[in-house]
Chains A and B, each alone.
Chain A
Amino acid sequence: MSDIKQHLTEQLQTALSPSHLQVINESHNHSGLASESHFKLIVVSDYFNDLKLIERHRFINQLFKEEMAHIHALAMHTYTPDEWQMKNGAPDSPKCAGGSKS
Chain B
Amino acid sequence: MDVMDRIQQQVDSAAIVLYMKGTPQFPQCGFSAKAAQTLTSTGVKFAYVNIFEDQEVFQNLPAFADWPTFPQIYFNSELVGGGDIIVEMAEMDTLKGEMEKAAEKFTISNNKTP
Contacts and interface: CB of A to CB of B under 8 A. Distances in A.
Given A61-B68, A99-B22, A73 B31 contact: yes
Interface in A17-59: 53-54, 57-58
A57 B85 contact: yes
Interface in B34-86: 34, 52, 66-70, 79-85
Which of the four size classes fits the interface of chain A? Answer: 20 to 34
B31 A94 contact: yes
A95 B83 CA distance: 13
B80 A95 contact: no
Contacts of A91: 87, 91
Contacts of B67: 58, 61
Contact of A74 (B27, B32, B69): B69
A68 B68 contact: yes
30 contacts: A53-B85, A53-B88, A54-B79, A54-B85, A57-B84, A57-B85, A58-B67, A61-B67, A61-B68, A61-B69, A73-B31, A73-B69, A74-B69, A75-B84, A76-B84, A91-B87, A93-B31, A94-B30, A94-B31, A94-B33, A94-B34, A96-B29, A96-B30, A97-B30, A99-B21, A99-B27, A99-B29, A100-B21, A100-B70, A102-B28
A68 B69 contact: yes
B11 to A, nearest CB: 15
Contacts of B28: 97, 99, 102
Contacts of A94: 30-31, 33-34, 83
A68 B82 CA distance: 15
Contacts of A102: 28, 52
Given A54-B81, A94-B34, A97-B28, 9 more contacts: A53-B81, A53-B85, A61-B67, A73-B31, A75-B31, A77-B84, A77-B88, A94-B31, A94-B33
Contacts of A93: 30-31
